[in-house]
Amino acid sequence: MNTWIWWALLTYMTGNPLLALLLVLVGGWAVERFTLGVLPSPLRILRRYRRASILRSELTLNPHNRKARFELADILVEQRRYREAVEVLKPNIAAGDDDAATLYLMGVACFGSGSSKEGEIFLDEARAQDPGYRLGAIDLALGRGRLAKGDFAGAKEALEEYCRQRKGTVEGKVLLAKAREALGDASGAAALRKAAIEDYSAAPRFIRKQERLWAWRLQPWRPVVVMLVAVAVLLTLSTAWRAVAEATPTRLPGHPTRRF
């Protein structure tokens, strides 16, 4: 209903319903970015899709461009197109690329595509190359993958190591609490969730933005409160705009305003 009011008011003001609809969509996205901040930036998404298209064209001309393959695989993993990422990155592995970044990316892609055994192998090899790669990213990937396949004991081991390296992590504590709860440690899981909320509340703003979705899993009422406040503000502005619009005199055709 609120969206319809905004569209009607903007249509009245602009005289163009399509432009009004565009303004409503852009305005809604802007409000979400400044309040919840959950939706990804559409500009970044478009840039990533455009970059992926460019990389595919480069690989068509030069299939041996391993740098382009790595970058394209990274984009595909971000887009959750894991099977395609595995196929793109295979030639790099076959050519002997054994750096931590390549092995880590291949391990994540294998886990995402359902090849957990291969994922474990690649992530273990990445750890051998660089044990502290990206401050525990390997342990986090192992924890996620093992949770997905039901290996809760293995996930607990990896996630405990990740939380040791990233003491303020909210995601790591939430996942570790899930693993502990599955293993029957309800009190330990509850303590981890409490610690995760405390860490989130004390974190800097940019960290809270990165961890927001994980914090909301612990406190689902947070996004509800933010949305209610946003709706209340929009309703107040809508009422004010309607009052202004109704108070503005409308000049009818054929009845020009008389000047004295």
* 51-70: pLDDT as tens digits: 999 999 999 999 999 999 99
Q: Residues 167-195: pLDDT tens digits?
A: 999 999 999 999 999 999 999 999 999 99
Q: How confident is the model at residue 6 (pLDDT cuts 50, 70, 90)?
A: low
45: phi > 0 → left, psi -120 to 50 → alpha, else beta; which? alpha
Q: How confident is the model at residue 213 (pLDDT cuts 50, 70, 90)?
A: confident
What SS3 state is found at 64? coil
pLDDT at 239 over 70: no
Q: How confident is the model at residue 260 (pLDDT cuts 50, 70, 90)?
A: very low
Looking at this protein, which amino acid is placed at residue 182? A
Tell me the fold of 42-131: 1.25.40
- Model pLDDT, residue 259: 47
Q: What residues contact 147, with CB distance under 8 A and at least 6 apart?
A: 155, 175, 178, 179
Q: Label residues 239-256 b or e (16+ Cβ within 10 Å = b).
A: eebeeeeeeeeeeeeeee
Q: Which residue stretches of 15-136 are H helix? A: 17-34, 42-61, 66-78, 82-94, 100-112, 116-129
- Model pLDDT, residue 212: 84
The DSSP secondary-structure symbol of 248 reads S
**In angstroms, how far apart are the furthest CA atoms of the chain?**
89
Section 65-90 average pLDDT = 97
- Model pLDDT, residue 56: 96
- In this structure, the number of other CB atoms found within 10 A of the CB of residue 221 comes to 8
- Model pLDDT, residue 241: 62
